[in-house]
Structure 1
Amino acid sequence: MLIFSVFKTLTDQTVSVELKNDLSITGTLKSVDQFLNIRLDNIKVLDEGRHPHMMAVKNCFIRGSVVRYVQLPAEHVDTQLLEDATRRETAATKR
Structure 2
Amino acid sequence: MLLYSFLKTITEKEIVIELKNDLKIRGTLKSVDQFHNIRIDDIQIMNLDQYPHLAAVKSLFVRGPSIRYVYLPKEAVDVDLLQEASRREALNAKIMAN
Q: TM-score, normalised by structure 2?
A: 0.91
2:4 paired residue number: 4
Tell me the residue number matched to 2:84.
84
| Paired residue secondary structure (1:5) | helix
Q: Which amino acid aligns with 2:23?
A: L
Aligned length: 95
Tell me the residue number matched to 2:70: 70
- In structure 2, distance between residues paired with 1:57 and 1:73: 23
Partner Cα separation in structure 2 for residue 61 and residue 5 of structure 1: 18
- The percent identity for this pair of structures is 53
**SS at 1:21's partner residue?**
coil
> Which structure 2 residue ranges, 5 or more long, are not aligned?
none
Q: Does 1:22 align with 2:26?
A: no
Instruction: Measure the CA separation in 2 of the matches of 1:58 and 1:9.
Output: 23
**Aligned amino acid, residue 60 of structure 2:** C
Partner of 1:55: 55
Aligned-partner Cα distance in 1 for 2:62–2:24: 12
Bigger mean CA deviation after superposition, 74-83 or 10-19: 74-83
* Alpha-carbon displacement from aligned partner over 1:31-68 (angstroms, at most 9, x marks no partner): 00000000000000011111001100000000000000
Verify the 8 A CA contact 1:28 1:42 in the aligned structure 2: yes
Unaligned runs of 5+ in 1: none
